[in-house]
Amino acid sequence: MTDYYIAPSILSGDFGKFTEEAVRLEKAGADWLHIDIMDNHFVPNLTFGAGVVAAMRPHSKLFFDCHLMVENPEDYVEAFAAAGADSMSIHVEATHHIHGALQKIKAAGMKASVVINPGTPVNAIEPVLGLVDMVLVMTVNPGFGGQSFLPECLEKVADLAMLRKLRGLEFDIEVDGGITDETITAAKAAGANAFVAGSFTFNGEPAEQIKKLRKKL
């Protein structure tokens, strides 16, 4: 049986109240907390670093799903492990050493996940599929919440699900960007089982919004 995970993104929450937002999302029924880290180099936006993750950690039991939109993500592995991150998702476009970086994440005791942007083909990550716990397929260009879902990215979700079966692998497939109670249906049908939702979660009462998403799974 497939496990499905709803991962609200704290990016759309109140930046003055990260810990309260984490607590609120846990009570609202989130499975994971999606934490977007941006460095203003890999993407044209700047958020926060491992210090904020460490500050939230004592107040939440949620799985911390950390999405690093930063250049050279391998440089941040020790800091995120120490902060209590459960997983690190790193972009194949952001490092010359994706294989080594994923190995480093696993060696630090976290789940390792590789991310592809809308313009990046699945074959860019084929050599590391045997190494990862998850593949994150971006369904918007990263950098900002509240953008429209790009349906053409779902072909890659379907290709990944097929490759996983062919090769007898077990990684999760997450989608991130523009997920709503409408777009989630096509993402699930393509083979995704983890769903990030930022603006949708906060466009109403998070508990109600999460319920609307879960109903579609």
Between 21 and 36, name the residue whose CB sits nearer to Zn ion: 36
Using CA atoms, how far apart are residues 115 and 109, in angstroms rounded to an integer?
A: 19
Report the number of secondary-structure helices (H) and strands (E) in the chain. Answer: 8, 8
Q: How far is the CB of 175 from ligand DX5 (least distance, A)?
A: 10
Q: What is 3-51 written as a DSSP string?
A: --EEEEBGGGS-TT-HHHHHHHHHHTT-SEEEEEEEBSSSSS-B---HH
Considering only residues 5, 22, 33, 36, which one is a binding residue for Zn ion as defined by CB under 5 A? Answer: 36
Residue nearest to Zn ion (CB): 67
Asked if 176 touches Zn ion (CB under 5 A), the answer is yes
Q: How far is the CB of 62 from ligand DX5 (least distance, A)?
A: 15
**Measured between alpha carbons, how far is residue 93 from residues 71, 90, 96, 119 in Å?**
8, 9, 8, 10
Find which of ligand DX5, Zn ion, none residue 103 binds, CB within 5 to 8 Å per kind: none
Count of residues in contact with Zn ion, rule CB under 5 A: 3
Between 115 and 162, name the residue whose CB sits nearer to Zn ion: 115
Task: Tell me if residue 3 is catalytic.
Answer: no
Using CA atoms, how far apart are residues 107 and 112, in angstroms rounded to an integer?
A: 10
**Measured between alpha carbons, how far is residue 120 from residues 35, 130, 200 in Å?**
22, 19, 25
The catalytic residue among 36, 65, 86, 172 is 36
The catalytic residue among 31, 65, 172, 176 is 176
Task: Tell me if residue 159 is catalytic.
Answer: no
Q: Which of 208, 202, 172 is nearest to 187 (CA)?
A: 172
Find how far residue 64's CA is from the centre of its chain: 10
Using CA atoms, how far apart are residues 116 and 135, in angstroms rounded to an integer?
A: 8
Residue nearest to ligand DX5 (CB): 198
Find which of Zn ion, ligand DX5, none residue 53 binds, CB within 5 to 8 Å per kind: none
Between 57 and 67, name the residue whose CB sits nearer to Zn ion: 67
Find which of Zn ion, ligand DX5, none residue 21 binds, CB within 5 to 8 Å per kind: none
Find which of ligand DX5, Zn ion, none residue 145 binds, CB within 5 to 8 Å per kind: ligand DX5
Q: How far is the CB of 130 from ligand DX5 (least distance, A)?
A: 25
Site residues for Zn ion per CB under 5 A: 36, 67, 176
* Residues acting as catalytic residues: 36, 176
